[in-house]
Amino acid sequence: MNTRRSILLKSSVLASALLAGLAKAQKRLVRMIVPITPGTTPDLIARSIGPIMQSKLDASYVVENKPGASGMIGMDFVAKSSDPGTLLVVPATTVTLPLFYKNIDFDVINGFTPITQVVSSAFVLAVHQSVPVKNLQEFIAWARAGKGLFYASPGNGTHHHLCMELLKQTVNIQLEHAPYKGAAPAINDLLGGQIPTMFLPIQTGVAQQRAGRIRIIGSSLKDGHPAFPDIPSLHELGAKDFNVDPWFAIWGTPKMPAALVEQYRQAIVAALDDPAVRDSLTKQGLIIKTGSPAELLSMTKAESALWTRMVRNSNIKPE
C-alpha cells in the first residue's frame, strides 16, 4: 500500500512538473525588432527594458536585429506581420524614408500601431579643432567665406544629415554633404581632420571634446539638454527656432488591439522607471520620455511635416 501510494505521489509530482514545463514553453513570445545593428541606441533601448518587460508581461522576450536598407528591412518585417507579439523600436528619422527612397512597400506612419515614445536626446554641431571657429556666428562666417566645404553624415535621412540641412536653411549657409556608409567612418574622418564639421550625438560630441579632438558649437534642442547645461542651444546662439529632438519610440504590428497596446505601454513605462534601466540610458545622454499612443502619432506627423518642408526646400531627390 505504501509502495502504491509512493508511486502515485511520484506520478503526481512528475505530471505537475510536466504541466509546469509545458506552461512555460507555451508562454507568449514578445519579439522586439531592432531594424539596425547591435550597439546602436535602439538596440540599447531594446535590451535595457527587456528583463522588466518580460517580468511584467509574464512572457518570453527576445531582441532581434534585422538591419539593412536604412532600417527598411526590419520595418517591412513588422509592417507585414500579423503577430501581436512583435514590436519595433525606431528613431524619429524613419518618417523621412519616403523622402529619400522610392518604392517603399509599407506606410512609415500608418503601417504600424503607435505604443509610446521612450527616450529623447540631442545632437551637437561640432568642428574639428583645426577649424578656426568658436561660436555659431564664426561658424556662419567661416561657411560663407569658404569654398567646397563638406560636412559628413552616416547617410541620407540620418539626424546628422537632417540637422545640418536644416541649419543651412536656418542661417543661410552652403556646405556640401559627404554621406558615409555608417557613423564610424564619418566620425573617424571628422576626428582626423579630413572632414571639418558634422552633427554628432551629444554624448559622442562631449567625449570627443574632452579628448581635445573637436569643438562643440551648440546643441540641436531649442531648450538645451538637461544633462549638459553648459552647452548652449543653436537657437540661443542665433539660429532662431532651430529645434531637432532625436527621439525614439516603440510601435506594434498593424491593427493591434487597444487593450494589448496599453499592456505593452505600461510594461515599457515600468521598465523605464526602473532605476538601473534609467541610469543605463541616461549615461548615454538619453532623456526618458514616454506618452500615449495618440501623442506618439501626433509627434510623428509633426516630424514628417518638418522634414518634408526641409527636403522640399533643399531640392533633395529620392534615390
Predicted TM-score (pTM) of the model is 0.85
pLDDT tens digits, 47-104? 999 999 999 999 999 999 999 888 999 999 999 999 999 999 999 999 999 998 888 9
Q: 98: which 3 cell numbers?
A: 519616403
pLDDT tens digits, 237-246? 999 999 999 9
The whole-number pLDDT of residue 23 equals: 43
Q: What is the pLDDT along the chain (319 residues), one digit of tens a residue?
A: 455 555 444 544 444 443 344 344 467 899 999 999 898 899 999 999 999 999 999 999 999 999 988 899 999 999 999 999 999 999 999 999 999 888 899 999 999 999 999 999 999 999 999 999 999 999 999 999 988 899 999 988 889 999 999 999 999 999 999 999 888 899 999 999 999 999 999 999 999 999 999 999 999 999 999 999 999 999 999 999 999 999 999 999 999 999 999 999 999 999 999 999 999 999 999 999 999 999 999 999 999 999 999 988 887 777 6
Cβ distance 316 to 100 under 8 Å?
yes
In whole angstroms, give the CA distance from residue 232 to residue 120: 17
Upper half-sphere CA count for residue 311 (Cβ side, 13 Å): 22
Give me the domains of the chain, ranges plus CATH numbers.
28-119+247-314 (3.40.190.150), 123-219 (3.40.190.10)
Distance of CA 71 to the CA centre of its chain: 11
